Amino acid sequence: MAQDKKEERYGHLGEDEIALAKVLVRNKKMTEQQLDSFIKLRKKSHSAGKLYLGDVLVKRGMIKEDPLDKFFKDNNKQYLKFIDHMVDHGLIGDDQRKKIMRYKEARQNVVTVIERLGLMTKASFIKLFLNYQTALKLGEWLVANKILDEEKLQDALKEQSIGNLEEYVVYHNMLDRQTIDQIKQKLCLH
């Protein structure tokens, strides 16, 4: 029973990551809490596809929610026009557009309404929108409005792109890449 719980804990990790995690924790190169943080990050990225830059920046205290709200409000006008484009091209029906527009919140944050109604995820909407038109991305907008400098943005983008346990350990300076590679070699991991 206790073994099942422990194995369930690692459910979002691959076999190589589990082996690496066990070695890192056993040798006190990573704490149980750090491992839990990575597992939580992995679960979130599995459900959302990837972490949102805004979530990373808010979590790190680099920005507050207000600039995010302003960014989405500024872009909302373009998003509303895109809703019409989606109807015109058969991506959603006119009845769905009307359903979206019944919500007062749609005039300020249509993406949230679309997600709440289950029409599509925020990530899917943004992907379609970016294929339709080039808009300032959040990071570019934050730098242009002097809310964040380029160096902090690049650091947050590195964190956003963490895809596996090795990258997480190196990013958080628990071990360097060379040491990770040596451990993997001893464990016969690729």
Half-sphere exposure of 80 (CA within 13 A, CB side): 16
Q: Are residues 75 and 107 in the same domain?
A: yes
For the stretch 72-117, pLDDT in tens is 777 888 888 899 989 998 889 999 999 999 998 888 889 889 999 9
Q: Are residues 81 and 143 in the same domain?
A: yes
Residue 47: predicted pLDDT: 64
Length of the chain: 190
Instruction: With a cut of 70, say whether residue 49 has pLDDT above it.
Output: no
Instruction: With a cut of 60, say whether residue 50 has pLDDT above it.
Output: yes
- Is 55 contained in some domain? no
- Is 125 contained in some domain? yes
- Is 153 contained in some domain? no
* Stronger pLDDT, 137 or 19, i.e. the higher one: 19
Average pLDDT over residues 168-178: 93
Residue 1: predicted pLDDT: 47
Using a cut of 0.85, tell me whether the model's pTM lies above it.
no
- Is 59 contained in some domain? no
What's the domain count of the chain?
2
Average pLDDT over residues 122-130: 83
Contact partners, residue 135, CB within 8 Å, separation at least 6:
75, 78, 129
Provide the Cα torsion 141, 49, 113, 126; round to 10°.
40
Which residues form the domain of 82?
Answer: 64-148
Average pLDDT over residues 154-164: 87
Residue 67: predicted pLDDT: 85
Q: Residue 157: which pLDDT band, with cuts at 50, 70 and 90? A: confident
Instruction: With a cut of 60, say whether residue 2 has pLDDT above it.
Output: no
Q: Are residues 32 and 97 in the same domain?
A: no
Q: Residue 66: which pLDDT band, with cuts at 50, 70 and 90? A: confident
Residue 146: predicted pLDDT: 92
Only one residue has tokens 């190169």, namely: 29
Query: Are 169 and 175 spatial neighbours (Cβ–Cβ below 8 Å)?
Result: yes
Q: Are residues 27 and 87 in the same domain?
A: no
Q: Are residues 39 and 90 in the same domain?
A: no
- Is 15 contained in some domain? yes
Residue 149: predicted pLDDT: 92
What are the structure tokens assigned to 51, written together? Answer: 């972490």
Q: Are residues 80 and 115 in the same domain?
A: yes
Q: Are residues 144 and 179 in the same domain?
A: no
* Stronger pLDDT, 136 or 9, i.e. the higher one: 9
Query: Are 179 and 23 spatial neighbours (Cβ–Cβ below 8 Å)?
Result: no
